[in-house]
Structure 1
Amino acid sequence: MALILSLETSTAVCSVALHDDGKLIAAAEMHKEQSHASKLAVLIDQAIKVAGLSLDTINAIAVAQGPGSYTGLRIGVSTAKGLCYALGIPLISIGTLSVMATQLKEQNIARACLCPMIDARRMEVYCQLFDYEMNELQHVEAKIIDDQSFRDHLMAHKILFFGDGASKCKSVINHPNAFFIDDVVPSAKALGVLGNQKFIKNEFEDVITFEPFYLKDFLIKKPASKEQVVANKLSQF
């Protein structure tokens, strides 16, 4: 028996799930931005209680590795690593975009390609392209979307675009083989299924050295000085 606790914090939705040998036995989630730090521990406690278990019965922790929200990933991974270290159990990581694609795989009766997208601001998204059997066609990338994006693949295949980065691309990716699905967010329910597959293969992370896959560096912009503000205004004349 493999009892796995899964944590998904890559986007605005924070979710937790418990799987027993890949079968979902409990789940909890919060659809509220910037709530991960205060609610993740609460959701873990809820799922554990619903399942009638205790933390010391967990065999492994699975966590979304990214890409996604810098803060959300940091909270999820640090929580997962802390639990693994305290309980002496292995850590499993799963790519967030793989989680999202897995969620649509069973519904993909048209056998279209799958392109999960996470918003990366402006016209940029974190994305990855899979065929209908979940074989990777394009690696994870931070992609600026224009009217030529995915053009070669769209000429040959239908593609389902989904995730919180997909809606802003509807008016740009204008092709008869492009289809957009709303309201798809990464879920710990799918994460746990993939986590169980890695558990069986003993594919674990180093609890000490593992870091989230941010894809892009997190940049902190320093506030401009009063002198710089004045200089910027003068330069406009």
Structure 2
Amino acid sequence: MALLLNIETATKNCSIALAKDGITIAIREIATQNFSHAEKLHVFIEELFAETNLKLQNLDAIAVSQGPGSYTGLRIGVSAAKGLCYALSVPLIAVDTLELLARKITITEGIIVPMIDARRMEVFCAFFDSNYNKIRETKAEIIDETSYQDISETMHLIGDGAMKFKDVLTAAKFQYYPEIEFPSATEMALVSFEKFQKKEFEDVAYFEPFYLKDFVLMTKKI
């Protein structure tokens, strides 16, 4: 039996889950406009272990959403995961954030296009097939009315980034899912367990989030 702690903080959703052998047994998450990850993450972890009567020492590995996504959110999640891995001497597993978002829907045809808001008319996105295999690399992409004109298949656009373009990408092939905004640690359970079985671990000392874009500090003009 493998017990894994899954941490997803790449977006506005602070999501933490405990999973046994790829099945989520307890979860805490909250999505707010003002990121609350720093305040909630460790509280959620404590609550999960209290709820399940388990201990941190029972963990076999810790999985973290690697990005792309919010610079601050990713730093908080990865820092917490690495700190716990050091303290507990357990391996670190990294999971593609866009794959987690893609796994929130099931399709039989077409392409899943998870989109994370990267501000203005830009999104972090990738393409996945119905089996969640990535078929186009992750990009920071500016979307306009000419985007994806060369694709004839149905495109299932999900995530908080997708809804920005409902009035821009209006062809019948574009399908929207407004109820799906953010990735969750729930979808991490199976992916992280499969990586655990394959021993696909990260170097805790050198692992860094996948930011995709450089962080730009914005200051107010006086």
Q: Same fold (TM over 0.5)?
A: yes
Q: Displacement of 1:152 after TM fit?
A: 1.6
Preserved CA contact (<8 Å) 1:81 1:207:
yes
1:102-113 paired onto structure 2 within 5 Å:
102-104=103-105, 107-108=106-107, 110-113=108-111
Count of residue correspondences = 220
1:30 aligns with 2:27: no
Q: Please give the alpha-carbon distance, in whole angstroms, between the structure 2 residues aligned to 1:166 and 1:68.
A: 14
Of 161, 168, 182, the residue aligned with 2:164 is 168
Q: Please give the alpha-carbon distance, in whole angstroms, between the structure 1 residues aligned to 2:220 and 2:25.
A: 48
Task: Give the structure 2 partner of residue 210 of structure 1.
Answer: 207
* Partner SS, residue 149 of structure 1: coil
Q: Please give the alpha-carbon distance, in whole angstroms, between the structure 2 residues aligned to 1:126 and 1:13.
A: 16
Q: Please give the alpha-carbon distance, in whole angstroms, between the structure 2 residues aligned to 1:112 and 1:46.
A: 40
Task: Give the structure 1 partner of residue 193 of structure 2.
Answer: 196
* Partner SS, residue 6 of structure 1: strand
Task: Give the structure 1 partner of residue 21 of structure 2.
Answer: 21
Task: Give the structure 1 partner of residue 96 of structure 2.
Answer: 95
* Partner SS, residue 152 of structure 1: coil
Task: Give the structure 1 partner of residue 134 of structure 2.
Answer: 136
RMSD: 1.2
Q: Please give the alpha-carbon distance, in whole angstroms, between the structure 2 residues aligned to 1:39 and 1:136.
A: 31
Question: How big is each residue's C-alpha offset from its partner over 1:115-145, in whole Å with a ceiling of 9 and x where there is no partner?
Answer: 0000001100000011112222210000000
Amino acid corresponding to residue 194 of structure 1 in structure 2: V
- Sort the Cα spacing of 1:223 and 1:28 in 2 relative to 1 into closer, same or farther, 3 A: closer
Q: Displacement of 1:52 after TM fit?
A: 1.4
Larger Rg: 1
Preserved CA contact (<8 Å) 1:9 1:15:
yes
Amino acid corresponding to residue 7 of structure 2 in structure 1: L
TM-score when scaled to structure 1? 0.90
Amino acid corresponding to residue 3 of structure 1 in structure 2: L
Task: Give the structure 2 partner of residue 40 of structure 1.
Answer: 41
Task: Give the structure 2 partner of residue 72 of structure 1.
Answer: 73
Q: Please give the alpha-carbon distance, in whole angstroms, between the structure 2 residues aligned to 1:218 and 1:23.
A: 35
Q: Displacement of 1:223 after TM fit?
A: 4.9
* Partner SS, residue 103 of structure 1: coil
Amino acid corresponding to residue 141 of structure 1 in structure 2: K
Task: Give the structure 1 partner of residue 125 of structure 2.
Answer: 127
Task: Give the structure 1 partner of residue 149 of structure 2.
Answer: 151
Instruction: Report sequence identity in percent.
Output: 47
Q: Displacement of 1:183 after TM fit?
A: 2.8
Q: Displacement of 1:85 after TM fit?
A: 0.3
Long gaps (5+) in structure 1: 227-237
Question: How big is each residue's C-alpha offset from its partner over 1:164-212, in whole Å with a ceiling of 9 and x where there is no partner?
Answer: 1011111111211110101321000111211001000000000010000
Q: Please give the alpha-carbon distance, in whole angstroms, between the structure 1 residues aligned to 2:113 and 2:101.
A: 9
Please identify which structure carries the higher helix content: 1
Q: Displacement of 1:79 after TM fit?
A: 0.1
Long gaps (5+) in structure 2: none
Preserved CA contact (<8 Å) 1:67 1:96:
yes
* Partner SS, residue 28 of structure 2: strand
Q: Please give the alpha-carbon distance, in whole angstroms, between the structure 1 residues aligned to 2:117 and 2:57.
A: 36
